[in-house]
Amino acid sequence: MSHKSPKDFFRPLAVGAPAPLREIPARPSRAIHFFDPSNEKMAAKVPGMIGTVDVLLGNLEDAIKADNKVAAREGLVKIAQSTDFGPTQLWTRINALDSPWVLDDLTTLVPAIGDKLDVIMVPKVQGAEDIHYVDRLLAQLEAKAGIQRPILIHAILETARGVANVEEICGASPRMQGLSLGPADLAADRKMKTTRVGGGHPGYLVRQDPPKDADGNSQIDAQRSVFQQDLWHYTIAKMVDACATHGIYPYYGPFGDIADVVACEDQFRNAFLLGCVGTWSLHPKQIAIANRVFSPSVEDIAHARRVVAAMGDGTGAVMIDGKMEDDASLKQCLVLVELAEKLAEIDPELKKQYDAIEVQA
């Protein structure tokens, strides 16, 4: 929870800093696409990605070699200053708060490109104190640079302590925009015995009960189905609840098996169904997967609109295709319908698909 009194929660933390937002806008952010601004090949691809991805994120932290930290920071400044991002948001991931680079990241980026940066992703957040530190520093830098709207903060949940403190992290500042899961660092910090970046694990499974023979003895050596389980279910569910409580947005994170587009889509879909609004994309081919998964399907929108139409003033119970619908299922349908409306505003192809739906009686 905030250490500030309620009356001070929305007060700027520096004289001249922009007023904090009262509500975090629900801007589409199905894919947060990571690029290394010090990698010329990747950077060259960025302008062509505008309009095809909801968020472009210039990464300065892990995956950027120590020798390239300054080049990545400077590369991001150059790209941001020379590019019109149109409908695409520009985010960055700064270095960890205990690193030798983060202070220069913030004191360079805010004056140079603070007017273009929508969100700053902060890695390895442990508790509200980390958000308070960045919050005050951003306010000071915004005031000094004359930035007109507050830069928002997104925290990566990737330490055991961060997960334990997820509620206070979400409520630490009106700048808090959302949370991403960081399964790679979180696995290491928890001492999980895995070596992967996100996704499931064949050893984490539930096995079907053994069949019994005629005498009722269990045949434990018989062939049995196994069902791989989701290692991240608990953390994502916890994150979703904390974000919903505080009116901010939850995201899945990295899926490192770039070649396995099928399992990637499954992991993204689990997160979407549990309440996440988007995910990370590490490679250009993950953008289309994220855009597809985090946009409600035409079938879901057709059904949702049918329920909305049948429910009239929104109270009571009706039967549709043999299933009961009432005030609560209507609310679920409205989540999908409202998301579709937001996405249709920025995605002409989706708009065409949603507009073509005929509402069945």
Ligand X SMILES: CCC(=O)SCCNC(=O)CCNC(=O)[C@H](O)C(C)(C)COP(=O)(O)OP(=O)(O)OC[C@H]1O[C@@H](n2cnc3c(N)ncnc32)[C@H](O)[C@@H]1OP(=O)(O)O
In the complex, the residues that contact Mg ion under the rule CB under 5 A are: 158, 182, 185
| Residue 258 site contact among ligand O=CC(=O)O, Mg ion, ligand X, none (CB < 5 to 8 Å, cut-off depends on kind) | ligand X
Element (H, E) at 93: strand 89-93
Q: Which of 254, 291, 295, 333 binds ligand X (CB under 6 A)?
A: 254
Q: Is 232 in the site for ligand X (CB under 6 A)?
A: no
| Residue 284 site contact among ligand O=CC(=O)O, Mg ion, ligand X, none (CB < 5 to 8 Å, cut-off depends on kind) | ligand X
Taking CB under 6 A as the binding criterion, the range among 57-65, 219-227, 314-322, 352-360 that sits at the site for ligand X is: 57-65
Q: Which residue has the tokens 């993204």?
A: 268
CA nearest neighbour of 2 among 192, 112, 129, 178: 129
| Residue 41 site contact among ligand O=CC(=O)O, ligand X, Mg ion, none (CB < 5 to 8 Å, cut-off depends on kind) | ligand X
Dist. CA 97–CA 235, nearest whole Å: 23
Dist. CA 354–CA 343, nearest whole Å: 10
Please say which residue, 46 or 337, places its beta carbon nearer to ligand X. Answer: 46
Please say which residue, 36 or 158, places its beta carbon nearer to Mg ion. Answer: 158
- Least distance to ligand O=CC(=O)O from the beta carbon of 153, Å? 16
| Residue 354 site contact among ligand O=CC(=O)O, ligand X, Mg ion, none (CB < 5 to 8 Å, cut-off depends on kind) | none
Q: Is 137 in the site for ligand X (CB under 6 A)?
A: no
Sign of CA dihedral 232, 238, 244, 250: negative
Q: Amino acid identity, residue 4?
A: K
Alpha helical stretches, state H, the chain: 40-49, 69-82, 102-113, 128-145, 160-164, 166-170, 183-190, 233-246, 261-274, 284-293, 298-310, 327-346, 348-355
Footprint on this chain of ligand O=CC(=O)O (rule: CB under 6 A)? 62, 123, 156, 158, 182-185, 253-254
Q: Is 258 in the site for ligand X (CB under 6 A)?
A: yes
Dist. CA 170–CA 348, nearest whole Å: 33
Please say which residue, 142 or 185, places its beta carbon nearer to Mg ion. Answer: 185
Positions at the binding site? 93, 158, 185
Within 14-53, the residues that bind ligand X by CB under 6 A are: 34-36, 41-42, 45
Q: Is 184 in the site for ligand X (CB under 6 A)?
A: yes
Count of residues that interact with ligand X, criterion CB under 6 A: 17
Cβ neighbours around 298 below 10 Å, total: 14
Positions at the binding site for Mg(2+)? 158, 185
Dist. CA 198–CA 185, nearest whole Å: 10
DSSP 8-state assignment for residue 212: B
Dist. CA 249–CA 154, nearest whole Å: 9
Q: Which residues bind ligand X (CB under 6 A)?
A: 34-36, 41-42, 45, 59, 62-63, 184, 197, 254, 256, 258, 282-284
